[in-house]
Amino acid sequence: MPSPPVYSVFTPSRAFSTPLILCSGHSGRHYEDHLLAQTSLSLEMLRQSEDAFVDQILEPCPDLGCQLLMAHFPRIFCDPNREEWELDPDMFSSPLPAGCNTTTSRVQNGIGTFHRFAVGKHPLYREKLPLEEAYTRLKTYWRPYHQTLEALVEDCLHQHGVCVILDFHSMPQWPGHGPDFVLGTGYGTSCALSLVREIETFLLQKAYLTRRDFPYAGGYTTLHYGRPHRNIHTLQIEISRTLYMKTAPLQTIPAFQTLQADLMDLLSHFISYLQHSSPLPTSS
């Protein structure tokens, strides 16, 4: 049986398309046997690292004219929201090639491009990985995902003159009553402020609590693609999992439908705003 694709792209017809690209890079749940063979952790424990069901929340988006890119591979084994070589040298049986970024806080916390720990700081691997494993995973998962996203961005710029990427994720429950959404702008560098305010205002009108940049200012996708001076605006959107799911076991709750409907309303409103705001500002 052939392996399923490592990602899917859903694209509306060009006549109906908008300058909006949606990404779900952390909701992949296809765990290939050769990856599972490298860990002693259960599938249930591995899946706690997923941004579970975010891809399902976004499934209706192409009907609105949005392009949608979804990863199917699990982020715990290859994280597309990290730099390509953001690796922990202690995970490998031989030295890493020159140029690897080994000092980021994500690497130090065991959640670099290849995670060292599962949720709860459980060690992921029985033994150190051969360096060839890094090359294989990057070639198989990370590069195809980003090559596709880059192509979508360039096509969007060619067609519309502007591109807005919304990179969707989910976040665990906060102590007490935390925000429902955290909007990551790379501390004001990845997206025009007017776009952020438009989304914040709509969510507040829906009675959701929002916060900007803390503790999630945006990962690789936000910081790498967000280039307002090139008319590319990128915003990371973290959704509180308490709004739509429970974790033990992983499953959606009835409020999933409400959240999905609210997000479709948000996107419809945002698309209308984009259509009436050309040209967009080129800085925040």
The 3-state DSSP class for residue 239 equals: strand
**38-71: pLDDT as tens digits:** 999 999 999 999 999 999 999 999 999 999 999 9
173 pLDDT tier (thresholds 50, 70, 90): confident
Q: Over the range 107-146, which residues count as b (16 or more CB within 10 Å of their CB) and which as e?
A: beebbbbbbbbbbeeeebbeeebebebbeebbeebbebbb
Q: Which residues contact 60 (CB under 8 A, 6 or more apart)?
A: 260, 264
CATH superfamily of 7-75+133-275: Zn-dependent exopeptidases (3.40.630.40)
Average pLDDT score over residue span 124-128: 95
Quick one: which H or E segment has residue 36?
helix 33-36
CB 158 within 8 A of CB 150: no
**pLDDT over 50 at 143, yes or no:** yes
**pLDDT over 80 at 105, yes or no:** yes
Give 122-186 as a 3 state SS string: EECCCCCECHHHHHHHHHHHHHHHHHHHHHHHHHHHHHHCCEEEEEEEEECCCCCCCCCEEEECC
**pLDDT over 90 at 139, yes or no:** yes
**pLDDT over 70 at 158, yes or no:** yes
4 pLDDT tier (thresholds 50, 70, 90): confident
281 pLDDT tier (thresholds 50, 70, 90): low
- Residue 108: the pLDDT is 96
Average pLDDT score over residue span 168-174: 93
Q: Over the range 236-263, which residues count as b (16 or more CB within 10 Å of their CB) and which as e?
A: bbbbbbbbbbeeeeeebeeebeebbebb
CB 253 within 8 A of CB 245: yes
175 pLDDT tier (thresholds 50, 70, 90): confident
**pLDDT over 80 at 14, yes or no:** no
pLDDT, greater one: 178 or 221 = 221
Average pLDDT score over residue span 105-133: 96
**213-254: pLDDT as tens digits:** 999 999 999 999 999 999 999 999 999 999 999 998 999 999
Q: Which residue has the tokens 């860990």?
A: 39
Average pLDDT score over residue span 61-82: 97
**pLDDT over 60 at 140, yes or no:** yes
1 pLDDT tier (thresholds 50, 70, 90): very low
Q: Which residue has the tokens 């490298």?
A: 38
198-201-205-207 Cα dihedral, nearest 10 degrees: 120
**pTM (predicted TM-score):** 0.95
Average pLDDT score over residue span 128-142: 97
- Residue 188: the pLDDT is 97
**pLDDT over 80 at 203, yes or no:** yes
Cis amide leading into 279 (omega within 30) = yes
**pLDDT over 80 at 282, yes or no:** no
